[in-house]
Homo-oligomer: A and B are copies of this chain.
Amino acid sequence: MRILIAGDVVGKPGRSILKEYLDKKKNEYDFIIINGENSAGGFGITGKLADEFFNWGIDVITGGNHIWDKREMYEYLANNDNILRPLNYPMGVPGSGYVIKKTKNGDKIAVVSLQGRVFMPPIDCPFAKMEELFWEFGEDVKCIIVDFHAEASSEKVAMGWFLDGRASLVFGTHTHVQTSDSKILPKGTGYITDVGMTGSQNGVIGMKVESIIPKFLTSLPQKFEVAEGNERLNGLDIEIDSKSGVCKKIERLDLSKDDIAAF
């Protein structure tokens, strides 16, 4: 099965280029996953935006530390299976960390949202939680896609090795910068440290330069605004063997609006 992944969609510029790509290409994919934690002005997501994403044909929206930014999402997450918050938030937290779905062809696919702990809020262990989840899945689910939303490269690379042969794909998010290390690990798991961001490349990880530089110069609180122009879609084009769950192809996407228009 062929799967599209789009990295952290940041604000209107991110949504706009994503829409252009989907309009041209969505029919080529069996399944579409985006990370939506920054889609509402860079901070969180709203129910309205999530609905819109589903209308566009997106199958699952994964989360991250910003998924909680808009209070309304607590209820939306609790009531909607196709948008995830990281699995390893503690018991009692609203929403689900994974979902099992069927592709257009009837293949079963599990999507997991997971979050790192190095330089991030203290939540449950992502490694232990994945271990538990495999017990829960048993032999039944072959195709497992994991969005590992984390800061430290060491934690992300370690998760790749930890899940090699047990997940179909482990893709990193959160740094908003695409890494060039996409590969298929020895036991068949597709891996990349970070898929990057879908949004404007005129800023600093999606936000305006003129609001970020003063932050680093002064350490004073700043209001951040979404950057505009030079949008790029960052993501992955994936091929997975439905029977075995093995990753057959992992291709990085890093496309401008012109690139998309030219398809």
Residues of A within 8 A of B (CB): 68-69, 89-93, 117-119, 121-125, 127-128, 151-158, 161-162, 175-181, 193-194, 196, 204-205, 209, 212-213, 216-221, 252, 254
Contacts and interface: CB of A to CB of B under 8 A. Distances in A.
Contact of A177 (B90, B157, B204, B219): B157
A154 B212 contact: yes
A121 B219 contact: yes
A151 B205 contact: no
Given A91-B128, A196-B180, A68 B220 contact: yes
Contacts of A220: 68, 89, 93
B181 A219 contact: no
Contacts of A153: 175-177, 205
A28 B118 CA distance: 41
A106 to B, nearest CB: 34
A117 B127 contact: no
Contacts of A180: 178-180, 196, 252, 254
A192 to B, nearest CB: 9
Contact of A124 (B68, B125, B154, B158): B125
Copies of this protein in the complex? 4
Nearest to A85: B220
A122 B118 contact: yes
The 3 closest A-B pairs by CB, nearest first: A117-B122, A180-B180, A153-B175
A158 B217 CA distance: 10
Contacts of A158: 204, 209, 212-213, 216
A3 to B, nearest CB: 19
B179 A128 contact: no
A173 to B, nearest CB: 12
A73 B133 CA distance: 33
A91 B117 CA distance: 17
Contacts of A205: 153-154, 157
A69 B221 contact: yes
Given A179-B177, A196-B180, A124 B124 contact: yes
**Residue of A89, A122, A161 with most chain B CB atoms under a 10 A cut-off:** A122
Contacts of A219: 89-90, 121-123
